[in-house]
Amino acid sequence: MRQKRVIGILTWREGQRFSEPDYLRRLVKAGWKLGAEVYVFSHQDVNAKERRIKGFTPKTGGGWESKSYPWPDVVIDRYRKRVPQYMKLRHSGLFDFANSPFSKKWRVTQLLAEDERVSRWVPETYVYTKGKVMAMLRRHPLLYIKPGNGTGGRSILKVAAVGKQYQLQGRDKQYGKHQVRVDNAAAVENWVKRWVTKQRISDGNFLVQQGLDLALMPNRVADVRLLIQKDGDGLWDVTGCGVRMGASGSSTSNLHGGGKAIPFEAFMTKRFGEDGAQRILDECHTMAHRIAHTLEERFGRMMEFGLDIGVDVSGRAWLIEVNPKPGREVFRQMGSMDTYAEAIARPMKFALYIARNGEGLPEKKRKGAG
């Protein structure tokens, strides 16, 4: 009788505390449903000498149980903290990973901006340095100052020209709101300098990015979260997308900041009509496929990407950010439970495809990866 395929999920843990425990539970159960042996583990759980893993699985009624498991055929990497022990394991060659090491947001933005296949979707972006804000304000009436290694809408500052003044608003590291008006670009530069110093996340840099007018509803920012994943045949496919609409007066659409998720077709049809909504959807799909292929060429085999896409008031689509370890809560929040279930199952389907076929792009050790 053929043995079950073994899939490991690498993540951060401390005791029985895990990053994103709810998602990990669902991912393990999706793998079980597909007939695989699946467990969660962290860097400290690997016994390379005996080729055994201390793995964790969800218990009925909550909590986790652990035991010794066989070596995985394929590992899905969901580790989000770049600690040295993780980085060492990630580059050790011990496992066949479904997804390759990725790079920092700034390097990815730079790579895409320089590639003619995808550059038209990338807003003008630079690493923050003294004088850069003033220079950008001469070209764009709206800017975003954001951490190159941030998530969840933290530490993002919006700078907008309002008449002869500038309005600055954002959320700090604790999601606290800040808003101020200043009279000139020099004052903006000074204010941003203080923000960057105080709101830095670990040792990351900040980016200065061309702002987009995403106010598709009065006093609200909206953007599109699109999920593109490998399917069970190893092919890229858009699983789904939804619109995230920010809270009234918020400078971001992030769901952590009080935003809400709305089905794409309903929202875009209301704003741009049926034909306009379909044109924007097609553009978003084209963008997602081209970006996925471009990044996979550069970094090696990948499994999924979450794209944050801005649709400006003229209906033009722009790439705001790409995330190689995306969430999928937008589908649950807008009530698309079939899409949500498929978004969880697909990483497992792809991992099993690799385990069965040993195909797909291998990991590439290239300069800049990781």
pLDDT in tens, 229-254: 999 999 999 999 999 887 665 555 55
CA distances in angstroms from 330 to 142, 146, 309, listed in the order given: 27, 22, 14
CA dihedral 339, 340, 345, 350 (to 10 degrees): 60
Residue 234 · residue 353 · CB < 8 Å: yes
pLDDT band per the 50, 70, 90 thresholds, residue 366? very low
pLDDT band per the 50, 70, 90 thresholds, residue 361? very low
pLDDT band per the 50, 70, 90 thresholds, residue 195? very high
* Mean per-residue pLDDT, 15-41: 96
Per-residue model confidence (pLDDT) at position 332: 94
Per-residue model confidence (pLDDT) at position 222: 83
Q: Looking at the predicted structure, is the pLDDT value of residue 257 above 60?
A: no
* Mean per-residue pLDDT, 340-369: 77
Query: Does residue 35 sit within a domain?
Result: yes
Pull the structure tokens for residue 319: 């790439």
Local structure of 284: helix, strand or coil: helix
pTM assigned to the model = 0.84
The total number of structural domains that make up the chain:
3
Q: Which of 69, 90, 111 is the last residue of a domain?
A: 90
pLDDT band per the 50, 70, 90 thresholds, residue 197? confident
Residue 55 · residue 36 · CB < 8 Å: no
* Mean per-residue pLDDT, 11-29: 95
Query: Does residue 231 sit within a domain?
Result: yes
Sign (positive or negative) of CA dihedral 265, 153, 146, 364: negative
Query: Does residue 29 sit within a domain?
Result: yes
Domain of 71, CATH number, reads 3.40.50.20
* Mean per-residue pLDDT, 63-70: 96
Query: Does residue 370 sit within a domain?
Result: no
Domain of 244, CATH number, reads 3.30.470.20
Pull the structure tokens for residue 255: 């769901």
Chain length of the chain: 370
Pull the structure tokens for residue 184: 């000139």
Same domain, 335 and 237: yes
Looking at the DSSP bridge assignments, the partners of residue 143 are 159, 210
Query: Does residue 117 sit within a domain?
Result: no
Query: Does residue 109 sit within a domain?
Result: no
Same domain, 310 and 236: yes
Percentage above 70 pLDDT, the chain = 91
pLDDT band per the 50, 70, 90 thresholds, residue 360? very low
Residue 23: give the domain boundaries.
6-90
pLDDT band per the 50, 70, 90 thresholds, residue 71? very high
